[in-house]
Amino acid sequence: MHRIFTTSVASVYPHYVAKVERKGRSRAELDQVVEWLTGYDEADLAEHLAAGTTFEDFFAQASLNPRASLITGSVCGVRVQDIEDPLMQQIRYLDKLVDELAKGRPMAKVLRE
């Protein structure tokens, strides 16, 4: 089991916020991306962050967006579409979306519309 699986989403979330805000994007846009991927609404996301939910539980309770399979490309030198472990792939999907948001991609493209 990889260490990230038992890491709380709340411990990584501030790093996501810092990354997107440093590049001129907002926390609201980050939340929109997380909610699009996971199916959580604003209250659900806030609840998971407050509760210290692990990535494993966070994605186990999520309703992954059916268009998530359209997320392709590399994160940390690993192609997300080639990751075999479903949980690791979902975590990397989130990382990839955060990267795209931070790089200034239009929201419609980030959300695979």
Write down the pLDDT at residue 8: 97
Whole domain around residue 101: which residue ranges? Answer: 3-105
Whether 111 maps to a domain, the answer reads no
Whether 48 maps to a domain, the answer reads yes
Tens of pLDDT, residue by residue over 60-83, are 999 999 999 999 999 988 999 999
Whether 112 maps to a domain, the answer reads no
Whether 72 maps to a domain, the answer reads yes
CA 72 to chain centre: 13
- Domains of the chain: total: 1
CA 67 to chain centre: 14
Write the CATH number for 81. 1.10.8.290
10's tokens: 């709340």
- pLDDT over 80 at 48, yes or no: yes
pTM above 0.85? Answer: yes
